Amino acid sequence: MNILVLGSGQLARMMSLSATHLDLHVLAYDVSTKKVVNPVTGQLSEQSLSQAIASSCAITAEFEHIPHDVLEQCSLSGKFYPGAQAIATGGDRAKEKALLDKAAVKCAPYKLITEKQHFLDAVEQLALPMVVKTCQAGYDGKGQWRVKSVEDIESIWLEMAEFLSTGTTLSPHSIIAEKMIPFDREVSIIGVRDRNGQCKIYPLTENQHTDGVLTLSIAGKEKNDIQQQAEDAFNALANSLNYVGVLAIEFFDVQGELLVNEIAPRVHNSGHWTQQGCHTSQFENHMRAISGLPLGSTTLIRPTAMINVLGQQSIPSTVLTVDGVTSHWYGKTAKPGRKMGHINVSANSLHELGEKLGELAEFLPEEYYPGVLATGHQLILN
């Protein structure tokens, strides 16, 4: 069976590598070159997009900002998962908030902005400091502002107005103001829903971001009550979207209460640890779900951490001297800040995981791999 993935980056690549043993053959559509390629070898396929759509049993996407015509063509085939509505929701914060409200899932207080008065109202109602984000674009910390004091308003409004003016009638631009919540930490839940509506959910992941980009995740720390909150949110949102495939939800943990930060209608960086921490990874489960196969186990086998490799030319092979470490290289050309790969490390206990992070920190300088040593210490102390 053939699978077509829109987007040909590392997520398509890992979907392919996780699906071959199930007799699923993944091709990827590179939206920038408009070519169909093998996402592992990069080799051009002889198939056009239309041919690849026709020959696939299922189509999916590795990102939300898919050209409108491509998304429509895939949707019309009736084989596109998780579905155009889910993709549109994941790519538009205004739609995302509407979904959260509809599904009665909690998030931080927010206000939509399409003109200056809305911005001024937001400042008044949500109070400063406040985060302001573009609704229709933005990824990993881009397209967002922090309004710290009333002096910031005019200069930030100028940038916001520029973004709003670039919208069209067909796809109007909007901006969202969110109350800045003094959260304790960021966590995320990854789950999968099959064509019959059955859901399987991985354990909650604790995430560390540096300059708005994920740098480290840990799975295996969570207590039942907080896991349950996340699962309730997952079920409500996935069912509301009649979702098929892997869905990721990021939360702020505010003294034990989870508030949704954002949702991603796809496999997610904070679920990469599932490649070594679970029997069935998020990639394999996404492939299983969209192709109509039974879902695999999402139970944690061992506490596992993931360390992102950002902008580096390679992963030091010395990390492989630490027992329970697997490195994942994406085969891309290095650019500053670019996601180049990740390192998974598993252990039999959180304490042992802390020790292993400590060992890894010797090979992973703090400058490029922030938080590895500190996280290791924390896990050992707890």
Binding-site residues, please? Answer: 93, 133, 138-144, 178-181, 186, 209, 261-262
DSSP per residue, 38-55 = -TTT-PBPS--HHHHHHH
CA quadruple 7, 11, 13, 17: dihedral, nearest 10? -140
Please identify, among the stretches 48-56, 84-92, 174-182, 313-321, the one whose residues bind its own copies according to the rule CB under 8 A.
Answer: 313-321
Token pair for 83: 């579905």
Number of residues that bind its own copies (CB under 8 A): 37
For residue 58, which amino acid is it? A
Residue 60 to residue 58: CA distance in whole angstroms? 7
Count other C-beta atoms under 10 Å from residue 178's C-beta.
21
- Residue 293 interacts with its own copies (CB under 8 A): yes or no: yes
Q: Which of 276, 282, 308, 375 binds its own copies (CB under 8 A)?
A: 276
Count other C-beta atoms under 10 Å from residue 81's C-beta.
24
- Residue 317 interacts with its own copies (CB under 8 A): yes or no: yes
Q: Which of 325, 360, 364, 372 binds its own copies (CB under 8 A)?
A: 325
Token pair for 288: 């299983």
Interaction pattern, residues 25-54, with its own copies; x per rule: CB under 8 A: -------------x-xx-x-----------
Q: Which residues are annotated as a binding site for ATP?
A: 93, 133, 138-144, 178-181, 186, 209, 261-262
Q: How far is the CB of 288 from its own copies (least distance, A)?
A: 7
- Residue 294 interacts with its own copies (CB under 8 A): yes or no: yes
- Residue 331 interacts with its own copies (CB under 8 A): yes or no: yes
Token pair for 175: 């901006």
- Residue 20 interacts with its own copies (CB under 8 A): yes or no: yes
The arrangement of strands across the sheet holding 110-113 comes to 110-113, 175-179, 130-134, 144-147
- Residue 221 interacts with its own copies (CB under 8 A): yes or no: no
Instruction: Tell me which residue has tokens 């102390």.
Output: 381
Residue 261 to residue 284: CA distance in whole angstroms? 26
Residue 207 to residue 192: CA distance in whole angstroms? 19
- Residue 320 interacts with its own copies (CB under 8 A): yes or no: yes
Please identify, among the stretches 49-57, 130-138, 324-332, 366-374, the one whose residues bind its own copies according to the rule CB under 8 A.
Answer: 324-332
Report the interface residues with its own copies, using CB under 8 A: 17, 20-23, 38, 40-41, 43, 276, 279-280, 284, 288, 293-297, 299, 301-302, 314-315, 317-318, 320-321, 323-329, 331, 346
